[in-house]
Amino acid sequence: MAYRLLFVCLGNICRSPAAENIMNYLVEQANLADQIICDSAGTSGYHIGSPPDRRMKATALNRGIDLRGRARQFDWFDFDQFDLILAMDRDNYQNILALDTKGVYHHKVRLMCEFARQHSEKEVPDPYYGGQAGFEKVIDLLLDACGGLLEEIQQNHLK
């Protein structure tokens, strides 16, 4: 059975689709596509059905990573569907935990930056209202964190 990851940000058009597609890219390179499944969602419904932000898409494409998918909102049912839910920042983290009123799934929710090996940031910053440097920073941070996450999964969750 595949290990299932859900990446979550606010609107599901910048950070979480970038994380999903970067992770898919790394998973494919490691020949683990049949063992690790990735998806993304947003805590808000602002952009439901929208493709990834064009600026984020262009920045990722410059690194050879195509951002695919359509925005959707995080749903309570996602707790059952995924083995690990990765929040991009503390607000996303708190919003996800707030849906789990009984605390049954809290152990499945982590901050994305916990897996970063070269960056010291505790949160993935939202680049939406900033310039190009913000998008580059997010891609750098997510490449680092996704690499660390993949190592963690390979060591502890795959047979």
Among 27, 62, 44, CA closest to 135: 62
The pLDDT value given to residue 139: 98
Residues in a beta bridge with 44: none
- Summarised one tens digit per residue, pLDDT across range 10-29 is 999 999 999 999 999 999 99
d(CA 53, CA 135): 10
Q: What is the mean pLDDT of residues 27-51?
A: 97
pLDDT of residue 131: 94
Structural contact between residues 5 and 50, judged by C-beta atoms closer than 8 angstroms: no
Q: Which residues on adjacent β-strands are paired with residue 73?
A: 42
Residue 45 is encoded by which pair of tokens? 């419904």
- The 10s digit of each residue's pLDDT in 57-88 is 999 999 999 999 999 999 999 999 999 999 99
Per-residue CA distances from 129 to 14, 68, 123 (Å): 11, 21, 16
Answer yes or no: 14 catalytic: no
Phi, psi of 144 (to 5 degrees): -65, -55
Task: Judge whether 90 counts as a catalytic residue.
Answer: no
From 15, 78, 113, 144, active-site residue: 15
Report the distance separating Cα 103 and Cα 120, nearest Å: 28
Give the C-alpha separation, 40 to 73, whole Å. 9
Note if 9 is an active site residue.
yes
* Domains assigned to the chain: 3-157 (3.40.50.2300)
Give residue-wise pLDDT tens across range 90-109: 999 999 999 999 999 999 99
* Identified catalytic residue from 39, 89, 126, 144: 126
Q: Is the pLDDT of residue 159 over 80?
A: no
